Amino acid sequence: MPPDQADGLKDSLDDMGLGYTVLSRDVQKIIAFQNPPRAAGRVNRVRRKGHPYTWKRYHRYEDMTSYMFYLASAYPQNAQVITIGSTSEGRPLFVLKVFSNDELQPRSRNATTTRAKRAKRASYHKPAIWVDAGSHAREWIGPAVAMYLCMQLVERFLDHPHLVTDADWYILPVLNPDGYEYSHTVDRLWRKTRSTPELATGRLFSPRSPCDGVDLNRNWDFNWGDRKGAADDPCKQTYAGPRPFSEPEARAAADFILGRKERIQVFLTFHSYSQMFLLPEDASFRRLPDHQELYNKALIAARAIGRVRGTRYQIGTASELLYTISGSSDSWAKSVAGIKYSYTMELPDRGRYGFLLPASLIKPTAKETFIGVKELVQAIVCRPY
């Protein structure tokens, strides 16, 4: 809030007997120092490494996609970039598929041998993991962690080969690239997509209006539009959209997942902040029958994360730990796509920086999150060794 309004708000809170805590005295200062500028040697780094990506800053969408294509080019036996759709502003949506080379099809004329057919069948029935991030534009740490996951699974495949030999991975680092770019160039705390409100709303909106866009995590077709967990006003941060899957980003991800729902055994979506594992709920915002089983698996991951540098995660439903959410991706994945182990991970921190986690914390956060995801997947999918 503007400094000249702070005293008035404090007086109002005091009059109502409400306590408060100041988390940040200068948000703009945090924004200014959160992300270091691009290094002058970026061009040389691209020539030397083949991509501009580092773990020292939050990168723009172009850098992220450049790194994904680099991985697919440098490690064709383990990585492939798949275009699954485009955004309302025309940006492509890229998924990095990570797989083991035993599923590569022979390129000789004898590709239809019994061995090739057997490999193809094995690949088709291979379990899969879905990971996405960046539904909410301002939550930069999620895409950064997703990119770190790509790096670990591909460039450091030999450090943990079973994670890839036992499962395929589909990683969508930025589900909302339009909003993500807007948060870099115009409004650092922008949350929604950048679609234009439909004329059917009967209201007129100006350019750069807060009424642009939809909350992607309220736009999925499960319990969509329930006012207990979403807004029907386009000007609200939690606007669910004019209809379920009105946003091409959510629609593209859902179609891709449904086409592989028989194989996908784990659904993970990265958000921030709060340090929580959120478990899906039913349409009445209640726990599901297998809640305890999902809780136990999340606990394995949470404990693994805690052993890295002491970061503590809470585990529960959104209604229990935060607030009610309708039209969420995790509940859709669980109840519509039928993916048993569906989770939302609210990444660090717990409020000191909030959405403005400094770039210096990217690598520590990514390292511990990868350890947690690794333990979770090993507990659910990977074969014992």
Please check the confidence at residue 220 and state whether its pLDDT lies above 80.
yes
pLDDT in tens, 335-344: 999 999 999 9
DSSP string, 180-242: HHHHHHT-TT--S--PPPPGGG-----TT-TTS---GGG-SSSSTT-TTT-BS-TTSTTB--S
Q: Could you tell me the end-to-end alpha-carbon distance of the chain, in angstroms, rounded to an integer?
A: 55
Distance CA 301, CA 278 (A): 13
Please check the confidence at residue 107 and state whether its pLDDT lies above 50.
no
Residue range 61-90: mean pLDDT, rounded: 98
Q: What percent of the chain has pLDDT over 90?
A: 74
Q: Which residues contact 329 (CB under 8 A, 6 or more apart)?
A: 132, 135, 216, 217, 220, 250, 253, 267, 269, 344
Active-site residue set = 346
Instruction: Tell me which residue of 246, 160, 150 sits closest to 198, measured CA to CA.
Output: 246
pLDDT in tens, 149-199: 999 999 999 999 999 999 999 999 999 999 999 999 999 999 999 999 864
Q: What angle do CA 164, 170, 172 make, to 5 degrees?
A: 135
Distance CA 240, CA 227 (A): 9
The pLDDT, as a whole number, for residue 325 is 97
| pLDDT: which is higher, 88 or 44 | 88
CATH H-level, domain 21-102+115-384: superfamily:
Zn peptidases (3.40.630.10)
- Residue with structure tokens 């969509």? 224
**pTM score above 0.75:** yes
The pLDDT, as a whole number, for residue 383 is 65
